[in-house]
Amino acid sequence: MVRVRFAPSPTGYLHVGSLRTFLFNWLFARHYKGKMLLRIEDTDQKRYVSGAVESLIKTLQDFGLDWDEGPYLDKKEQIKEMGKVGPYFQTQRLDIYKNFAQKLIDEGNAYYCFCTEQELDKMREKQTAKKLPPMYDERCRRLNKEEVALRLRSGQPYVIRLKIPEQGIVKIKDLIRNDIEFNYRDVDDAVIIKSDGFPTYHLANVIDDHLMNITHVLRAEEWISSVPKHVFIYQSFGWDLPRFGHVPLLLNPDRSKLSKRQGDVAAEDYLAKGYLPEAFLNFLALLGWNPGDNREIFSLKELIKEFSIEKVQKAGAIFNLEKLDWMNGCYIRKKNTEELTRLCLPYLINADFIRQDGSQIFIKSSGIKIDIKWLSKIIKLEQERLKVLNDIPEKTKFFFIKELNYDPQILIWKKSDVATTKSNLELIKNNLNKLSSNNFKAQNVQNILNCLGKDRGVGDIFWPFRVALTGEKSSPPPAEIAEVLGFSEAIRRIDLALDKLNLMS
């Protein structure tokens, strides 16, 4: 059975690149009806961030992703574990790593290193000055058993290093990059147990992957250089290798590595901005993977069915925000109005346009009680123009602001003037007054505007009416806005526009 894992370090937010790595593992596992594991690699205590595990789990859940083994949050948001090969936190597995590290030493595949940080710094300085790659010079590798024992008895601090063979070739067939080859003479004697007794990634992840029966290791390409060290550990213990696949990096448009300096890289930030989880995952899936045709919109079920590791590309994938906005807009337009309204509601509340008291909703500026159906009409008007949910407050603010604050000059259409604009608004008002509140519908308003436009000019009628209702130069059709505002409010806003024009006269 296919068994894959996602093993993040709890050092802060979930990077979008890490989310993409989780997604590729998840799609691979679900495609082959295998198991997905979550493991927390928390042995780097200096970089550990309190609450990061809870945040990580919640973010994955907010994206609608699940896993079969590992930590999860219960209903009280307490961390629990599921699965039979745990514990799934590396800090709870320290004795396991120490025992295996000792076995490597006993069998001559690792050794104690007593070099201080100062000695290592001087070593690197000399190597850099000679334009050599900075590598450990293996001085402690040459210590005899008696000297090692003496230093250990004296309590001298130490780390444990791998004793990498001095010659030989390491070759694996990567699932994405085909043959990868290393010469052992170019590989450093990596630290596997630090001076604080905690293991490094090299030792802990190999041991855990073996004991947790991981069959495929799909991880970022930055770990390619670690392959020979990991292969050496597997072979030292006589363990079978998993299949490795190194996925391409995510890149900025300038092809630099995606970083916080050039934009948001925290996955949860995109949810906060109003990107839909299903749209964002669809976007991420296509960063480095191609279905082999021109299709771009996939549901998670479709991605599971179509996903193939053979179709993951080697080259880095550009994180294109314009493409993400387009894709998110596609998903927004597919939402039914009821669901989209529910999704937009928190953004209107956060913008202080509305407040919610239990099941009741009020416009904050006026205190007027509104119902969800009226709110849904507003959302429906803007649905076609939305790219992210966070756009909704700015695009709909004129519905919730009692006094529109705009320059009266924008009421005037192109080469028109104040007098003509006043005359046209008064004409619109007089004709709208012929409608009752009951038949104040968008089509009836549109008919009036069309009729007046034939006589006075389309721009001279529609433009000032739009601005009077919204205070904006662009908006959905003004007749539809008028219906949502209602007869009395539409007339009131025309009167306010006339007042502004009177002050210009």
Catalytic residue ranges: 260
Q: How far apart are CA 392 and CA 483, in angstroms?
A: 19
Give the residue from 309, 270, 351 showing the smallest Cα distance to 17.
270
For the chain, the residue count is 505
Neighbours of 107 (CB within 10 A): 11
Under DSSP, is residue 251 helix (H, G, I), strand (E, B) or coil?
strand
Three-class DSSP labels, 281-335? HHHHHCCCECCCCCCCCCCHHHHHHHCCHHHECCCCEECCHHHHHHHHHHHHHHC
Measured in whole angstroms, the distance separating CA 202 from the mean position of its chain's CA atoms is 27
Q: How far apart are CA 281 and CA 287, in angstroms?
A: 10
Query: Which H/E stretch holds residue 355?
Result: strand 354-357
DSSP string, 229-245: HHHHHHHHHTPPPPEEE
Give the residue from 70, 100, 99 showing the smallest Cα distance to 86.
70
Q: How far apart are CA 379 and CA 345, in angstroms?
A: 10
Sign of CA dihedral 341, 345, 351, 355: positive
